[in-house]
Structure 1
Amino acid sequence: MVVCGIDPHKSTLTAVTADAVGRRLTQRTVGARPENWLGLLAWARGQAREVLWAVEDGRGLAGGLIRYLLAAGQRVVLVPPKLMARARSSARTRGKSDPIDALAVARAALREDDLPVAHLDQDALDVRLLTDHHDTLVEQRTATINRLRWHLHDLDPALEATATLTSVRGRQRLSERLRALPVSVRQALADELLADITALTRRVRELERRIGELVRPMAPTLLDLTGIGVLTAAKIIGETGGITRFPTSAAFAAHNGTAPIPIWTGNKPTFRLSRGGNRQLNAALHRMAITQLRRHQPARDYLDRYLQRRPHATRKAALRALKRHLSDVVYKALITDLASTNSELPATA
C-alpha cells in the first residue's frame, strides 16, 4: 500500500506518494481540472494496488477531486491543516513548498489512525452550501444596517436611536420618516440602503425556509433537543459532514473542539481549553449550552454538580464541561437519526 498526499490549490494539485513508513517515493503536480484527475489516479495506482488518498481538508479547494476519487472506489481521508505543521516540522527538509506540504499530508495520514473518512452525500453538502450562503447574506445585511445607521445619525440622531430594522413595520415607519425629510444625497442613500435591507431580509427568510425543508426530515431527533433550532441543526449537519466518519463520540468531540487538552505531567491532572477543531461546530454547541442553561433544568443541574465536585473550578470550566457532554448528546442524536432514516449521512467533499 502507498499513501498519496494531496496539497490542493485553486490552479494546481501537488501529489506525493509515500510508503508504509513515510518514505517519499514520487511526486507529481497537475492542474486542478477534471481532465487531469484520471491521469493522477492512474499514476498513483501504477505504484501499488492499494492507494490511500490523504487530502488536506481545505474548504472547497479539493471537493471535485474527492468526489471523483470516491466515485472511482478509492479510500480518501481528510487531514486537518494543523496536523501538517507537526509532520512538516519533523521532516529533514526545511522550508515550505507544495511537495513538502503534500508529503506532510501523507505522513500525517500514516501517523493518525482516526482521521475522518470522506464519503459522498449530496444532502449534507446541500445543507452546508445553503447555510454558508445564509451566513453570507446575514453578514451583508448587518454591514448594510451599520452603514444605514451612520447616515441616520447624521440626518437626525433621533432616527438612529429609534429605528427598528428587524421588523417589517419598523422598516416601513422609518421609510415614511425618511421620505418626510428634505431631499438630499444622504437621505436618498439612506432610503436606498433601507430598500437593500428589506431585499436581503426577504432572501434570508427564503433561505431559512429552504433549509428547514431539508433539515426536518434528516434530523428529527436532533431538532427535539433543547437549544437546537433549524439553523443550528443545519450548521451541525453541514459541518459534521456525516456522523459515520467518526467512530466514537470522543472522535467527534475532538473534531468539534470540545474535548479538553491535558497539560499535566505530575500527580495532579489538569486540562485546558482546546482552541482547535471545527469552530463552526463549536459555536453551535456553545449556543446550545447557553440556551439549555436558561431553559433546561438538567443542564443547570449538570453545571451545579460539576462546581460542587470541583470547588476551585470556574464557571467557564463548568460551561466547557457541559459543552463536552452536549457533544455526546448531539453525537447520539445524529446516530439515531441515521438509523431511523436507514440512509447514511457521510462526509461531504
Structure 2
Amino acid sequence: MSQRRFVVNAGTFRQLMRWCEQWPERRFAVEGARGLGRTLAQQLAAAGEDVVDVPSTLSARARLLATGGDRKTDPADALHVAQVALFRQDLRPVEPEDQTTILRLLTERHDDLVHERTRVLNRLHAVLRDLVPGGAPTGLSADKAAAIMKSLRPETATDACRRDIARDLLADLRRLDRQVKDNEAEMRDALAATRTTLTVLPGLGTVLAAKVIGHVGDVSRFPTEHHFASYTGSAPLDASSGNNVRHRLNTGGNRALNSVLHVIA
C-alpha cells in the first residue's frame, strides 16, 4: 500500500495523475463527488478514469466499524473511503458533466428567480396597499402596478417615500421578469439539445421536463421503477410490526423531483 498527501490547488490533478502512472489498472474513490469533491472527480472522469462516488454516510460507517468511534484523520478517512469502494459494488460511477448538469443549473437558477420575484411582488403589493384607497388588487403584475402608480398623488412626505419605494420595487420586478424569461429561453435551448420527448407527455412543460432530466441524469442508473420511486420519495415506507401491516409517508428522497411529480399529477 502506498499513500501520498496532495495540496489542493490548480496543479493537484496533474500531480495526482503522474503519481498514479505506476498503477495502470486503477480506480478512484471520491467522497462527496457531488459536493466538495466535485472538481477533482470531474477532472478524473473527463480524463476517462474509473471514478466512483462514496457517500459520506458509508465512509462514516466504515470508520465506526474500524475504530469503534468517530475520530477523523485524513489518512484514516482515505483508507475507509477506499475500503468502501473495494467492497461495495453498487456505488454510483462519476460521469462527466453534460447537458443534464446544465439543465439542473438552469432550473435551480429559475427557482431562485421565481422565489425572488414572488418576494418583490408581495412587498410591492404591501406598499401599494397603503397608497391606494381600498388596497391594491390581487393578481398584481408589473404592468398593473405601473398603471396604478400613474394615478398616485402622494399628499404627505410618508406617502411620497412609499411611492419612491414602490418605483424601486417595480424596477426590480421588471428586471426579474426579464431574467425569468431569458432563463426559460436558455432552458428551452438546452432541452432541445437533449432531444427529449418528455414534453409531449401531459403535464410536462419546459421547466418541469428540465427539472426531471437535470435531477435524474441517466435514468438507466435505476434498476427498476421501484428504485426510482424510492429515490424521489414517492414510495411509502414500510412501518409494519408483527401482524400489523402499515406504511407511512416518505419525507426523504429527492424533494425537487418529488415536487415535480406532484405538479405533473
Deviations 1:138-175 (A, max 9, x none): 12212222332332334347334x15334x53233233
Residue of structure 2 aligned with 1:170, choices 144, 157, 167: 144
Tell me which residue corresponds to 2:153: 180
Residue 226 of structure 2 is matched in structure 1 by 250
Verify the 8 A CA contact 2:60 2:70 in the aligned structure 1.
no
1:15-40: CA deviation from partner (whole Å, max 9, x where unpaired): xxxx9xxxxx7463531x33112223
- For 1:29 and 1:142, the matched residues in 2 are separated by 46
Q: Residue 45 of structure 1: CA displacement?
A: 5.7
SS, match of residue 5 in structure 2? strand
Q: Does 1:30 align with 2:14?
A: no
Deviation at 1:56, TM superposition (A): 1.2
Closer, same or farther: CA 202–139 of 1 in aligned 2, 3 Å: same
Q: Could you tell me which of 208, 228, 238 is aligned with 2:214? A: 238
Task: Say whether 1:51 aligns with 2:27.
Answer: yes
Classify the secondary structure of the residue corresponding to 1:30: coil
- Cα deviation for residue 118 of structure 1 reads 1.9
Match of 1:141 in 2: 117
Match of 1:288 in 2: 264
Percent identity, please. Answer: 34
Contact 2:212–2:260, Cα closer than 8 Å, also in 1 = yes
Please tell me whether the aligned partners of residues 44 and 51 of structure 1 are also in contact (alpha carbons under 8 angstroms).
no
Matched residues in 2 for 1:216 and 1:88: separation? Answer: 45
Gaps of 5+ in 1: 1-18, 20-24, 290-349
Q: 2:191 & 2:85 partners in 1: Cα distance?
A: 32
Give the TM-score normalised by structure 2.
0.81
CA displacement 1:282-337 (0-9 Å, x = unmatched): 22122222xxxxxxxxxxxxxxxxxxxxxxxxxxxxxxxxxxxxxxxxxxxxxxxx
Give the letter aligned to residue 96 of structure 2. L
Alignment correspondent of 2:43: 68
Q: In the TM superposition, what is the alpha-carbon distance from 1:134 to its structure 2 partner?
A: 1.3
For residues 241 and 30 of structure 2, what CA distance do their matches in structure 1 show?
33
Q: Give 3-state SS (helix, strand or coil) of 1:78's partner.
A: strand
Counterpart residue type for residue 47 of structure 2: A
Tell me, what secondary structure is at the counterpart of 2:139? coil
Higher RCO (CA 8 Å, separation ≥ 6 residues): 1
Q: Which residue in 2 is equivalent to 1:210? A: 186
Does the Cα contact within 8 Å between 2:29 and 2:81 map onto a contact in 1? Answer: no
- Which amino acid is the alignment partner of residue 236 of structure 1? V
Larger radius of gyration: 2
Aligned residues: 261
Amino acid at match of 2:222: F
Inter-CA distance 229–260: structure 2 relative to 1 (3 Å threshold): same
> How far 1:188 sits from its partner (Å)?
0.3
Query: For the structure 1 residues 163 and 103, does the alpha-carbon distance in structure 2 shift closer, same or farther, using more than 3 Å as the test?
Result: farther
3-state secondary structure, aligned to 2:31: strand
Structure 1 SS opposite 2:30: strand
**Deviates further, 202-211 or 46-55:** 46-55
Query: How far apart in 1 are the matches of 2:247 and 2:21?
Result: 44
Which runs of 5 or more residues in structure 2 are unaligned? none
Partner residue of 1:77? 52
Deviation at 1:97, TM superposition (A): 3.8
Map of 1:326 onto structure 2: none
Separation (CA, whole Å) in 2 of partners of 1:215 and 1:57: 25
Distance 2:98 2:88 in 1: 27
The aligned amino acid for 2:48 is G
Q: In the alignment, residue 30 of structure 1 is paired with which amino acid?
A: V
Question: Does 202-211 or 260-269 show the bigger shift?
Answer: 260-269
**What letter is aligned with 1:94?**
G
Q: Please, which of 238, 246, 249 is the counterpart of residue 262 of structure 1?
A: 238
Q: Per-residue deviation at 1:68?
A: 1.0
